[in-house]
Structure 1
């Protein structure tokens, strides 16, 4: 069944692509539950478009500000209570989980800010680190597997895609530039779809971040978040119109999801670490919702660890070996020795950091317990393989990867997902 949308002006603004050709390497072993590879005699798979709306909390769709997304959901599949992110519920860890099927503890992107004894420091603003494939090499992203089996791939700003993972990039990709508007991102994707058949991508990703930025700056219940929802949905309408014009809307499988939700977190809700411990005696790897501390040479870490693992107001701390099993977190060498997780609505900080943030305070955050209702993420799917008007129960985001390899007829790399848990969202002949 087709979705009808008002025609929108659609102009193509192609602005280049990068490519590379080395073959991928296998990911490290992890729990595997996935369908067998499709037989070679099967017809070519339908194109698959994976769209992330960063920070789109699952209940945002109920605000009535996302009509295009709501129409896709009505004619396709929606996780009624959302999709559960992996822990920690942060941007880079969860985007890489979605395209690898591995939890952050297994794929190595364990935080937006982290440290590695060989590679140094990693943060979202460190462009050299973000584009260094060695940070990402503990897993095999889906675009590598697709290219190894002769498919063309295209990624529009997906975290990880600008790194030379195992020496390889997607066939078409762009280094992240936050100044590129949502409409320009859509137009670039459509331009890639206008390539000659032999060059046209089969697996594609598209990334929007305005909703997340507004949530951080103003809080999830702000007018600014509502405006970002409207603007992002308009870009989705532009995409749908462009696919309709190309005769692709009924021939392409689309998955629209988020990496995490968003919680209200006023700046004054802060646990100040230097009021609890001698902060100069530790290597503070990260602060925020999930703080990470390592021993600093020359100082005794044991009393600091013992102090913070006592019951604390508005946060809970663990040695990495004692993190609750349900988080599936703590075994990767990049995970700091001591972790402190803030209660929902709070952050962990230092006096110096709070003084700096007064210049640009934030009102919303994520990274909390991934079972918290405020962290649950959007999941909508639409296309020839998906059922119509179907509501499905919540599921962990690691299951998206085996679903996608099934849709593309690809052999999955080792992963933590479970295809059987999500195959019910597909039509019987697509299972």
Structure 2
């Protein structure tokens, strides 16, 4: 099971007919078809505002909401919450580190990230398109990211807002397959594509091909939000424009006679946040000459900024001295921008998110601060995205589903983008065994929860082991803290018990159960190498919504004095069946030699020497001192006790701990 259990709340297919019969519609006899629509940058609250207040005129989307399944809480995006990784997660069912598209740009320091991740061969996981091909299903894609060279029957390849040059437009133009040229007759026209034209291409594709799977990407809302801000009048007008285009696509599917066998899934790729400040690592990187060739290397380090975060990469052949320069530059940048930074992510912290697998560290800003690669360039953006799911609501995407196999007028809890692919696979009968979202065969004992938020709750059987527990990252509604109660400065005496007090604050609406804690020492330079495993502590602690709890975890380091990378993970789930892991501590620590025990032989020797010296001194005193001075004197004992500095200096560790003001909304 995964943290994404809620997404199949609306799904019905023969494999789960018994379990889902209470809420699913009968499967039609016609060939099942799916239209996946992505409205880029449509934060979840555009839909909730339209639904609750009615001041955003999107009648077609509202019809799908009222006639199908909708998540008012939205969909959890990927890290980073940007277009190319998120869209690839939708069609693969796995996070970025697993599918290979970890950013919008190709990771190419020599080319200053000018090239986008256009190319389908860069995807390292199975896609819905691949699974359709294995069943000889026809497919179509309109401006879907990372589709140049994809095995898609009719294709208008994804090109973001516009190709960077006419030459780029020419080869994108040549990659098209199907009746694109009636609507975009020249390569030059590829540089000015509108959402209306995207909708026209979708209508033409559907009329000519009747594809069994079609993926349509509307891109202009994202561009307008960058330029004018979230929920601006221009953004709202563009969403209303997209709704009208989607209505035309729906009408075309109805006209073509396959509407009753078509499932509509409408999503977005990420949320948005308005910005007021920009920062860039460029200045300190230039100061330390990190991006220029030196000592036989093309570069020492470089950075890739994605709105709310900036990933730092270090040349694999960089020397220890060069890596020290990188650390100096990063520390200087962090000190200069402490009020603007939210977190500095270490590689170990990124593991649960399956994000930025080769990054040295990832810098994440506060919600109102945007990273830029070139601080000298004029800033034209008023809003951006790219933050981690930890930032909560601002980065939430949208999700709704309607049509064949979908129950009417149901609200469900939040879903994850990686749930989209296995959902499509279950509807269409595709074989996608490697997805990490919820698959139809994972659903066994669902129960319809009646009430205001109607849905299905899946209670999983959790196996408490790091290998079997499917990692889903931390919940945005849960905060954790840790305090080593008897040690300081991340130094642990070898062979002695270390005590850690772990706090859990549940700020969400669902109760959680803390299943247990697992600790490990890993090699500081090779995190894949485990130096020492510690005993897993099973807890079963229930933390009610809006409350806090704490518990102790103890472990005993090995005797050898050396440095380790300590990872302490807590595992928990909530009442929806979602499973999470939170790396409550991961940082380099030092095992030091424990104080030697006081030997009885040493004590005997000291006592004997004191007795001899004292006896000799007393004899001399008796012989030489005046009799009047031979009076006893009461000696007041000096009381001694323990003291503690209360230092939490480990909280400011470069690679792992929050810095500056930690903003959470």
Q: Is the 8 A contact 2:60 2:247 kept in 1?
A: yes
Distance in 2 (CA, whole Å) between partners of 1:374 and 1:48 is 28
Q: 1:380 to 1:368 in 2, by over 3 A?
A: same
Q: CA deviation at 1:274?
A: 4.7
Q: Deviations over 1:354-389 (max 9, x none)?
A: 32134xx11010001224211111111110110100
Q: 1:173 to 1:182 in 2, by over 3 A?
A: same
Q: 1:228 to 1:422 in 2, by over 3 A?
A: farther
Q: Is the 8 A contact 2:105 2:115 kept in 1?
A: no
Matched, 1:228 2:238: yes
- SS of aligned partner of 2:75: coil
The unaligned stretches of length 5 or more in structure 1 are 1-29
What is residue 314 of structure 1 aligned with on the other side?
A: 340
Greater shift in the superposed pair: 410-419 or 151-160: 410-419
What is residue 304 of structure 1 aligned with on the other side?
A: 326
Distance in 2 (CA, whole Å) between partners of 1:122 and 1:68 is 42
Q: Counterparts in 2 of 1:14-53, with a 5 A limit?
A: 45-53=31-39
Q: 1:342 to 1:251 in 2, by over 3 A?
A: same
Greater shift in the superposed pair: 232-241 or 90-99: 232-241
Higher share of residues assigned strand: 2
Matched, 1:93 2:113: no
What is residue 71 of structure 2 aligned with on the other side?
A: 79
User: Aligned residue pairs: how many?
Assistant: 374
Q: State the TM-score, normalizing by the size of structure 1.
A: 0.77
Matched, 1:147 2:116: no
Q: 1:200 to 1:237 in 2, by over 3 A?
A: closer
Distance in 2 (CA, whole Å) between partners of 1:78 and 1:122 is 40
Q: Counterparts in 2 of 1:125-140, with a 5 A limit?
A: 126=115, 130-131=118-119, 133-136=120-123, 138-140=124-126
Q: 1:319 to 1:346 in 2, by over 3 A?
A: closer
Pick from 312, 323, 344: which aligns with 2:367? Answer: 344
- SS of aligned partner of 2:424: helix
Q: Deviations over 1:160-217 (max 9, x none)?
A: 222x2xxx4201101343523323322322222223xxx5310111110111001111
Q: Is the 8 A contact 1:250 1:384 kept in 2?
A: yes
Tell which has more relative contact order, 1 or 2 (C-alpha 8 A, sep 6+). 1
Q: Is the 8 A contact 1:186 1:235 kept in 2?
A: yes
What is residue 327 of structure 1 aligned with on the other side?
A: 353
Distance in 2 (CA, whole Å) between partners of 1:116 and 1:415 is 28
Distance in 2 (CA, whole Å) between partners of 1:94 and 1:339 is 18
Q: Is the 8 A contact 1:101 1:398 kept in 2?
A: yes
Structure 1 runs (4+) greater than 6 angstroms displaced:
30-35, 421-428
Q: State the TM-score, normalizing by the size of structure 2.
A: 0.51
Pick from 406, 416, 430: which aligns with 1:396? Answer: 416
Distance in 1 (CA, whole Å) between partners of 2:279 and 2:104 is 20
What is residue 111 of structure 1 aligned with on the other side?
A: 103
Distance in 2 (CA, whole Å) between partners of 1:258 and 1:349 is 24
- SS of aligned partner of 1:281: coil
Q: Deviations over 1:110-155 (max 9, x none)?
A: 11124269xx7595x626x523x4422x112211110111101110
- SS of aligned partner of 2:415: coil
Q: Is the 8 A contact 1:387 1:427 kept in 2?
A: no
Q: Is the 8 A contact 1:113 1:121 kept in 2?
A: no
Distance in 2 (CA, whole Å) between partners of 1:317 and 1:272 is 15
Q: 1:49 to 1:240 in 2, by over 3 A?
A: same
Q: CA deviation at 1:319?
A: 6.0
What is residue 156 of structure 2 aligned with on the other side?
A: 174
Distance in 1 (CA, whole Å) between partners of 2:199 and 2:283 is 48
Pick from 260, 271, 279: which aligns with 2:279? Answer: 271
Q: Deviations over 1:299-329 (max 9, x none)?
A: 6223533663667322255464232555332
Q: Deviations over 1:62-118 (max 9, x none)?
A: 14232211111111111110011111111000000000011001111111124269x
- SS of aligned partner of 1:300: helix
Q: Deviations over 1:331-362 (max 9, x none)?
A: x3xx3222111111212236xx132134xx11
Distance in 1 (CA, whole Å) between partners of 2:240 and 2:229 is 16
Q: Is the 8 A contact 2:44 2:396 kept in 1?
A: yes
Q: Deviations over 1:246-296 (max 9, x none)?
A: 333332101010000111013xx1234255563532432312422122235
What is residue 430 of structure 2 aligned with on the other side?
A: 410
What is residue 368 of structure 1 aligned with on the other side?
A: 387
Distance in 2 (CA, whole Å) between partners of 1:365 and 1:158 is 20
Pick from 302, 313, 324: which aligns with 1:284? Answer: 302
Distance in 1 (CA, whole Å) between partners of 2:266 and 2:3 is 25
What is residue 402 of structure 2 aligned with on the other side?
A: 382
Q: Is the 8 A contact 1:261 1:377 kept in 2?
A: yes
Distance in 1 (CA, whole Å) between partners of 2:400 and 2:433 is 24
If you compute each CA radius of gyration, which structure gives the higher value, 1 or 2? Answer: 2
Q: CA deviation at 1:413?
A: 4.0
Q: 1:344 to 1:91 in 2, by over 3 A?
A: same
Q: CA deviation at 1:44?
A: 5.7
CA RMSD of aligned residues (A): 3.3
Q: Is the 8 A contact 2:118 2:147 kept in 1?
A: no
